[in-house]
Amino acid sequence: MLRKFSRPTSRAAQRVLALAVGKRSGPLLAAALTAALVGAAPLNASAEPQSLSIKNMKVSVQPEYDDPRVLVTYEGEFVGESSFGRKVQFFIPKGAEINQVCALRKPADEHLCQLYDTDAASQSLTFTLPIPTFYLEFYYQPLEGSPDKKMDFGFQSFYPVGKLQLDLQQPLRVSNFVATPKAEKIGTDGRGFSYHQYQFDNVTANQPVKVSASYTKTDPKPSVEKAKPGAAGTGDVNVILLGAIGIGILGLVAFYAMGKRRPQPVRVYNRRPGPPAYSRGPDPAVNIPQRAPAQASRQARATARGRTAVAPPIAREARASFCTSCGTEILADENFCPNCGQKARKLG
């Protein structure tokens, strides 16, 4: 166990020494010697552990649960929520394989795993606990013999424990199971496990608590198969499958909707000065009625008069007019509509 040191000089002795030195050499020298004495004295290694106490704690011992060794878990709560986080220390059996060192956040029992240090000489584990509730889990091998097996388990704490519950789980497929001392209560669960339960009140720091078990087991397999890291249970697989099916259905609906959607025509608006000119074919952008087949074009009318049609300048084009009766274009030198004979109205 870790060796602990205490201060050799008490506070009262330090005051007497300081007073004596002060009378002979003055108060300044007394203060300096007192400070040196306090600084040189080794700190008490048990000061922090002794200042803490555990309100309640449950120790679960499970031989050959999901491993040929023994699985042990510690779960409990320290007194004084305001004093955390701080370093805490627990005894761990020699050769233990540590699986979890966590703070336990309530009410969902969320495991907040922490970094930790081990000391082989004291067989202890130290870590900083951010909240008062904790959870530790480790495997070790105290089992002896086969198929008739026996084991001894011992627990002790660096801190006083107000209420300690120790559960010794009986493995599946065993016979002649005997727990020593005899358990105060034996309970069972729906999986077929039996639990030999012990209750201890006001357990002092470093007080040993021991139980033993013996049984016959010819089956080399553990009670249950160890869960593989990251393996999904049946419920998780169902959720994943349903999610994949839902995504597939949404994808099909989107694909079908895009396939059925017709491209919309693009409407292009040409902004030109003056009235829009008529064209031979329909203009998809501007809905303007086409001329009647009997209507004569500007070129035909100009040719009939013995002159060549020339594109008028922009100023003249801007002064062109249209028949108020049938909508036919009337040239600037025409006084009547060439289509219906309506008298032209001159602009300007």
Tens of pLDDT, residues 83-114: 899 999 999 999 999 999 999 999 999 999 99
Residue 262 lies in a domain: no
Residue 210 lies in a domain: yes
Domain of residue 33: give its range: 11-42
Strands (E), the chain: 54-63, 70-78, 86-91, 97-105, 110-113, 116-119, 124-129, 133-140, 148-155, 161-170, 175-180, 185-188, 194-203, 209-216, 321-322, 329-330
Residues 126 and 28 reside in one and the same domain: no
Whether the CA torsion 45, 46, 48, 49 is positive or negative: it is: positive
Residue 206 lies in a domain: yes
Residues 17 and 110 reside in one and the same domain: no
Q: What is the pLDDT of residue 216?
A: 98
Report how far Cα 162 is from the mean position of its chain's Cα atoms. Answer: 35
Residues 38 and 54 reside in one and the same domain: no
Residues 33 and 75 reside in one and the same domain: no
- Ranked by mean pLDDT, which of 39-43, 130-134, 304-308 comes out on top? 130-134
Q: How confident is the model at residue 153 (pLDDT cuts 50, 70, 90)?
A: very high
Per DSSP, the three-state class of 336 is strand
Residue 221 lies in a domain: no
Residues 69 and 183 reside in one and the same domain: yes
Q: Are the C-beta atoms of 41 and 9 separated by less than 8 Å?
A: yes
Query: Which two tokens mark 155?
Result: 């627990």
Mean pLDDT of 238-253: 66
Residue 118 lies in a domain: yes
Question: Cis peptide before 147, with omega less than 30 degrees from 0?
Answer: yes
Residue 253 lies in a domain: no
Per DSSP, the three-state class of 99 is strand
Among residues 216, 234, 263, the one where a domain terminates is 216
Query: Regarding beta strands 185-188 and 54-63, do their DSSP bridges make them parallel or antiparallel, or are they unpaired?
Result: unpaired
Mean pLDDT of 276-285: 45
Q: Letter for the amino acid at 248? A: G
Between 80 and 162, residue with greater pLDDT = 162
Q: Letter for the amino acid at 310? A: V
Separation between Cα atoms, residue 76 and residue 136, nearest integer Å: 9
Q: What is the pLDDT of residue 341?
A: 81
Order of strands across the sheet that contains 116-119: 86-91, 124-129, 116-119
How many domains are there within the chain?
A: 3
Q: How confident is the model at residue 316 (pLDDT cuts 50, 70, 90)?
A: very low
Q: What percent of the chain has pLDDT over 90?
A: 49
Residues 38 and 53 reside in one and the same domain: no
End-to-end C-alpha distance for the chain, whole angstroms:
118
Residues 37 and 53 reside in one and the same domain: no
Q: Are the C-beta atoms of 174 and 129 separated by less than 8 Å?
A: no
Mean pLDDT of 160-188: 97
pTM of the model: 0.55
Q: How confident is the model at residue 330 (pLDDT cuts 50, 70, 90)?
A: confident
Mean pLDDT of 197-225: 97
Residues 200 and 344 reside in one and the same domain: no
Q: Are the C-beta atoms of 200 and 210 separated by less than 8 Å?
A: no
Give the CA-trace dihedral at 176, 180, 183, 188, to 10 degrees. -40
Separation between Cα atoms, residue 310 and residue 27, nearest integer Å: 124
- Mean pLDDT, the chain, integer: 75
Residue 275 lies in a domain: no
Query: Residue 97 belongs to a domain with what CATH number?
Result: 2.60.40.1730
Helices (H) and strands (E) in the chain, counts: 6, 16
Q: What is the pLDDT of residue 15?
A: 46
Q: How confident is the model at residue 240 (pLDDT cuts 50, 70, 90)?
A: low
Separation between Cα atoms, residue 322 and residue 298, nearest integer Å: 12
Between 313 and 223, residue with greater pLDDT = 223
Residues 181 and 113 reside in one and the same domain: yes
Residue 227 lies in a domain: no
Per DSSP, the three-state class of 309 is coil
Residues in the chain: 348
Whether the CA torsion 2, 51, 206, 114 is positive or negative: it is: negative
Query: Which two tokens mark 76?
Result: 């409990």
Residues 184 and 332 reside in one and the same domain: no
Separation between Cα atoms, residue 124 and residue 117, nearest integer Å: 8
Residues 30 and 98 reside in one and the same domain: no
Residues 16 and 82 reside in one and the same domain: no
pLDDT in tens, 26-66: 544 444 444 444 444 333 344 355 589 999 999 999 999 99
Mean pLDDT of 247-269: 55
Q: How confident is the model at residue 327 (pLDDT cuts 50, 70, 90)?
A: confident
Least confident span in 103-107, 125-129, 171-175, 289-293: 289-293
